[in-house]
Structure 1
Amino acid sequence: MEFRPILSAMLRNKTGVFLVGLQIALTLAVVANAVFIIMQRVEKIGRPPGIDSANLIFAQSYGFGPNYDHRDTVRRDVDMLRAIPGVVAVTALNGIPMSGGGRQSGYTIEPPTPQPNPTTSNIYFVDEHGVDALGVKLIEGRAFTEAEIQYNENPTNSDFAPSVIITQAVAQQMFGDGPALGKPIYDNLGQSAIVIGVIENMLGAWVGFDQPSNVMLQPRLSNGPTIRYAIRTEPGRRDQLVPEVEKKLAESNLNRAVTWVRPHTYWVERSYRADSRMVAFLSVIVSLMVLVTALGIVGLASFHVSVRTKQIGTRRAVGARRIDIIRYFMIENWLLTTGGVALGLVLAFAFGHWLSSTYSLPRLEPLYPVAGVVLLWILGQIAVFVPARRAAAIPPAIATRTV
C-alpha cells in the first residue's frame, strides 16, 4: 500500500491531525519522565533497610523526679523486656533508623589537620546487644562486649568511643577495597576509635540522604532522662507485643512516663510518605494522559470514517476487502503516531534535561522514551481498531446511495 494517498487524505484535515499528533508528543514527553520518576521513587521505597524492620518495636520513656535513677532504670528495663516471651533481643539506643531525626558527624582515616572531605556517618549509641536487637548482618568482626559500653554521664561529653562498628558503605568510602577491620578512624577532634565490626547494610535516619547507608554504631548509652529501646521480636509477634511492652514499661517505674511504643513500620511509612504520594499522583497523571490520548485517536479515526463513508463504499465496490480498509486506517494511524512520537522524543529529553538541571534529578534514561514510543504505537493501533472495523463494515452499495 502506498503512503502518498494516505498522507494526502490526512492533510485534508490538518487541524485534527496536528492536534492529535501534538497530544501524542506531549503524552510521550510527560509520561516518559513521569514513569522515570515513579520508578526512582519505587526503587527508593523498596530499598532493604538492613535491619529487621518487620519485627522491631521502638519505645521511648522520660524520667522525672528526684528519685529517678537513669542507669538503674535502663538496666531494669532491659532485663524486664528481654524476659517477655517472644522478645529476641533488646538494646537501649539514642535514635531510630529511618525516622527523619538523628545524629551525624564526619570521620577520616587520619588525624584531622583538618582533612578534606570527611566521611559523614549517622551515629547510633547501642549496648552490647545492639547488633542482635537491630537485626543487622555482621559480615566482619564482632559485636560490642559489655566491658566496652560507655555511660555518657556528662551531656556535653564529646569523647570518641574506643571501638566502633561501621556499615560496608562507610568502610568502602574510607578504606576503598582495603580491609577496614582493626583500622583506626578519627573524629573531627582528632580522637581515634578502632573498627571492630562491619555491617553489610543499614539505612540511617534520613531516607533522602545522599548516602543513607553511612551508619556507625558506638558502644555508649546516653545520660537521660530520655531513653529509647529497640525491641526485636520473634517473626509475627510484633503487633501482639506492642501493648504488652507499653504496659510493662508503664508499670515498672512510676518515676518516668512512657512517651510512645510503636512498630518500626510507623517511621518507615512516615519517612516514605512523600515518595508514596508522588508515585500515586504521577500514576494518576500518566493514566489520565494515556486515556485522553487514546480517546483523541479514537475520535479522530471515527471522524475520518464518518467523512469518508462514500469513499470507503466506492473502494469496497471496486474490490477492496474488509482487511484492506482496516489496514488503511491502521497505517494512517501509525503514520500519525510516528509523527507525534518523533516530536515527543525531542520534548521528552528536553523536559528531562530541564528537570535534571532545575531539581538536581538524574538524567532521563533513553529506555523510558523508547518504551513510551512502543507503548504509544501499540496504543494507537488498539485505539483505531474499532473505528477501522466500523469502516470495513460499510457496504459497497453506499457508493451509489446519493447518485
Structure 2
Amino acid sequence: METIYLDHHATTPMRPEVWDAMRPFACELFGNPASAHQVGRKARQALEDARELVATCLGASPDEVIFTSGATEANNLAILGLAGDSPGQILGSRIEHPCVVEPLLQLANRGWRVEWMTPGLDGVIPLEMILKRHLHADTRLIALMAVNHETGAIQPVRELGRNLPRGTRWHCDAAQAAGKFPIHFRQWGCTSLTISAHKFAGPKGVGALLLRAGQPLKPLTLGGHQQQGRRPGTESVALAVGLATALQLAVHEMESNRIQLCQLRRRLADGLAELGAIVQSPPMNSEPELIAGLSSPAVLNVAFPEFPADLLLMKLDLAGIACSTGSACASGSLRPSAVLEAMQLPVKQLRSSLRFSLAPSLTPHLIDEALFRIRKVIASLRQADADL
C-alpha cells in the first residue's frame, strides 16, 4: 500500500530540477566562494546569482539576502540580532513557530518585556489590537508571522507595515507563505523576513533572512567576513542554488498551483466534514494575494473530538496516510498545540486535532483515496467504541 503524503507543511520532496541545478556545485564546481582563484570565483558568481534570484522573487535587493541553514536559524538571527543589548518592549504572538517563541523567551530572561498578543477564535491577530492595545512608544520589535504553520491562518502582514510608526522594526516569519503567495519585502515594510527552502520543494538545510538595507544586525556567530559578517562561515553554494531554483519554480507556477490547491482543499474539507470533523482553519483564501483573516489553501486543521490525536495519527499511519498533529518542530511533545490553546478551543478539540497539508503534486484521485482510508479508520474506531 502506497503512503499518501499529506504533511507538506512539515517538509516537501525536492524537485528533480532543483537537484539538477545543485549537483554541479556539489561535485565539479566545488570551490570555496571566498577563494580568489578561478575555481573560487566561479563558485562566488553562482552564489551571487542565487542571491539576486532570491531577491527578485521576494521584492528585495541582493544585498538584503542572507543565506542561513533554514528558518530556525534565520528567525533566531533576526530576533536576537535586531534586539540589541538594551532591553525594551517586544511584541510577540502566541501563535508563532517555536523558533520565534523561544528566542523571545530568551530575551524575556535577559530583561526584555515581552508582551504576548492573543489571537481570536480564528487564529488571527487583529491589526487593530496590535496598533491600539499592544503598540507602545518603547516597542523595539514586533514579531508576526505571515501564515500560521498549524491552521494556515493569514495574519495582517500586508497591512501592518503601512500602519506602524516610522522606525518601528518588525520581523515576519514567512516560511509557510514563500512559494505559495507573492511576497513583497519592501512593500510590506518589514525590517526582516525569513524563508526555508524545504517548505517549497527545495533542499533541507538552507533558508534565507531578508534584512532591510542599512539595518544593523548583531551576528550570532563570529569568525568570518562572509555575508558582510552578519552570518559568518563558508556558504554552501549548492544549497543556495537549490533554494533559488526551487523558489523561482514555485513563483513561476504560483497561479496554477493556487488553483490546484484550492480544489484539493475543498475536496478534502468536504469529505472530512461528512465524517463529522470540525474544521479549525479559517475560511480558505482563494485569491492570489494574502488576505488577513482567511487561511492558506495548502493546509487544513481539523478535529475528531471523539478520539485523541495520537491514536488517530497511529491508525492513519497504519492505513498509509501521513499527516501530523501540528508543527514538526513541536509534534514530539505530549502537550496540546500552543497555537490551538491560544485560540481557546475546547479541550476535546485540542487533544484531537490533525493537520493535513497539501501540495499541487497531489491529485483529486489521491484525495479521494485518502478520504476512503480515513473513513475506514474513523468507522473502525467508532465501532470499537460501540463494542465496549
Q: TM-score range by the shorter chain?
A: under 0.3
More helix by percentage: 1
Question: Normalized per residue, which structure has more strand?
Answer: 1
The answer to which structure, 1 or 2, has the higher relative contact order (CA under 8 A, 6+ apart) is 1
Tell me the TM-score normalised to structure 1 length: 0.25
| TM-score with structure 2 setting the length | 0.26
User: Which structure has the larger Rg over C-alpha atoms?
Assistant: 1
